[in-house]
Amino acid sequence: MKKNRICEKYGACTNEEQVRNGAAGKLIGSSQVSHYLPTILTSAVTVPVYEHHRDAADFNKNFYTYAWQLQEKHGDVFTVHLGPRPMVVLCGTQTIREALVNNAEAFSGRGTIAAAQLVMQDYGIFFSNGERWKTLRRFSLATMKEFGMGKWRVEERIKEEAQCLVEELKKYQGAPLDPTFFFQCITANIICSIVFGERFDYTDEQFMHLLKLMYQIYSLLRSFSCQMFELFSGFLKYFPGVHRKIAKNQQEILNFITHHVEKHRATLDPSAPRDFIDTYLLRMEKEKSNYNTEFHHQNLMMSVLSLFFAGTETTSTTLCCGFLLMLMYPHVAEKVQKEIDQVIGSHRLPTLHDRTKMPYTDAVIHEIQRFSDIVPTGAPHRVTKDTIFRGYLLPKNTEVYPILSSALHDPQYFVQPDSFNPEHFLDANGALKKSEAFLPFSTGKRICLGESIARNELFLFFTSILQNFSVASPVASKDIDLTPKESGIGKIPPTYQICFLAR
C-alpha cells in the first residue's frame, strides 16, 4: 500500500504525543486534510453531483461495493468525500473489531443521518451521544430485559405471535402471496408488546397505517433524492423534497406514540409497570426535580420511535430474504425440516431451548443473515475524542463508517463468501461454529440494542413456519431472482410470491 505524505516524511504516527509535537502537523479539517489519513486522501474520492449526476447515483446506490474497490487499492482504512462531508471508512473484520471493540469508547459516538435527524435531532437512543446516550442505553437495556429480553418473557411473546401468523397463513390454503406484510406485522408486534404492552391484529387500521408510514420512510431513505440530501443537507433542507415527507411520516408516528403515552399516564400503576413506557414514566416522575435529567418527554418519544425503526424493518427484511433463499435452495429447507421433525416434532411449539439441539437450523439462520447482508455499511459512528488509529490521527467528531459487508464477506473467514452455504457456520463434527466476522448487528458499544430479541425472533419464527409449512415458488427455480434492491443505506430482497403449503 502506498504511504501517505506524513508516512513518507515521518513514518506513521504511533502515539498522540508525536502528533501534538508536530509530526502530523495540523488536525484533519484543515486545508491540509489529505496529509493525515491514509493514502486515499491524497486523491480523495469525491462525488461530483452536479457534473456527473448518474455517477453520483451509482455511487450512493452501491456505496459498499465502491468501498470494496477502494479497499483493494488503498487498504482497510481510508477517507472518502461525499459532497462536502469527509468520512473515514473501515474495511475488513480485524480493522472493524480493532476500532469498535478494542477502541470501543473512542468509536462509540453516533454519526449523522441527516434525513432522519430533522425530527429526531440528537434525542432518543439511536442518535444521542455522550452521557445522554449512555444513560438512555443503560435504562433501555435494563427495561427491555425486564419486559422482553428476559428469556421466558420474550419466548412467550414470540411464540404467541408465531401461532397467530401460522393461523393467518393457513387461510391462504397454499395460494401465492407476498410475505412482506406479514413479516412486518409479526416483528412490529413484538416491539409493540414490549413498548406498549399489547399486540395488534393484522387488520387493525391504526396498526396497518403505522406499518405503511414506516415502510414509506425506509423506501424514501433508500431513494436517490434522499442520498443527495445526505450529501448537501445544509443547503437542501430549505427546499421541498423527500426529506420533508420523511419528517411528516415521523411526526405521524410520533402522534401515534403520543396517544399511547397519554393512555399510559391515565392508567399508570406505580406498583405494577406494564411495559417500557410505564417504566420510563415512573423514572420521569422520580427525577422530575433534577433539572439536568435525561428522562424527559422528548427522549421518551424519540427512544420509542428508535425502537420501532430498529426492531421492525431489519428483522422482517431478514425473514423475507430467508424464505426467498429457501425457495432457491429447497434442499436446505428440507434439511431444516428434518431437524425440526427430529428435535421438536409436530405436536408442540419450538422453544429457545431447542436451538442448541439444532445446529444445522442455527447455521442456516446465521448464513441467511451473512449472505443477505441487509445493512452493508452499518450505522455511522463518530470518534468521541482525538484518536490515533493505526498510526493516523482522527480528530474528535470525525465520522466513521464500518463496512460490515466487508466482514460478512471476508474470504479469510468464509471459504465461499459470495455463495449461500450454511457450512460456513458448521465445524467438521456438524456443530455450530462461531465466527468473529459475523457482524450483522455490528459490534462494540453501539451494537444493536435489540440483538438478543432479533436472534430469538429469527429462530422461533423461522422454525415455527417450517414446522407447519413447506414452501414453494409459483415460478420455476431458474426464474427466482435473488438480486437485492440496493441503496446507500441497505439492501432489500426483490418482491416475490411464495406458497405456504400445510405439512
- Contacting residues for 440 by C-beta, under 8 A, at least 6 apart: 369, 370, 373, 374, 375, 404, 408
Is residue 79 helix, strand or coil?
strand
Distance of CA 352 to the CA centre of its chain: 23
DSSP H helix total and E strand total for the chain: 20, 12
The three-state secondary structure class of 110 is: strand
pLDDT at 46: 42
Residue type, 323: F
Q: What pLDDT does residue 234 have? A: 86
Arithmetic mean of pLDDT, 466-481: 95
Annotated binding-site positions for heme:
448
> What architecture is the 47-502 domain classified under in CATH?
Orthogonal Bundle (1.10)
H or E stretch covering 261: helix 242-267
Between the alpha carbon of residue 429 and those of residues 52, 116, 423, 426, the distances in Å are 53, 46, 11, 8
Q: What three-state secondary structure class fits 338?
A: helix
Domain map (residue ranges) of the chain:
47-502
Check: CB of residue 52 under 8 Å from CB of residue 40. no
By CB neighbour count within 10 A (0-12 exposed, 13-18 middle, 19+ buried), where does 43 fall? Answer: exposed
Query: Hey, what amino acid is at 294?
Result: E
pLDDT tens string 379-412: 999 999 999 999 888 999 999 999 999 999 999 9
pLDDT at site 68: 79
Using an 8 Å Cβ cutoff, are 416 and 429 in contact? no
Query: Does residue 308 register a pLDDT over 90?
Result: no
pLDDT in the model for residue 55: 46
Q: What is the pTM of this model?
A: 0.89
Query: Do 370 and 441 form a contact (C-beta atoms < 8 A)?
Result: no
Task: Name the binding residues.
Answer: 448
Q: Give one DSSP letter per residue of 195-243, joined into a string.
A: HTS----TT-HHHHHHHHHHHHHHHHHTSHHHHHHHHSHHHHTTS-SHH
Cell 469525491 locates to: 46
Least reliable range by pLDDT among 66-75, 172-181, 363-372, 494-503: 66-75
pLDDT in tens, 83-99: 777 889 999 999 999 99
Nearest to 207 by CA among 312, 277, 279, 323: 312
List the single range of 16-25, 101-110, 252-261, 366-375 with lowest mean pLDDT.
Answer: 16-25
Write down the mean pLDDT value for the chain.
86
Say what percent of the chain tops pLDDT 70.
86
**465 vs 323: CA distance, rounded Å:** 10
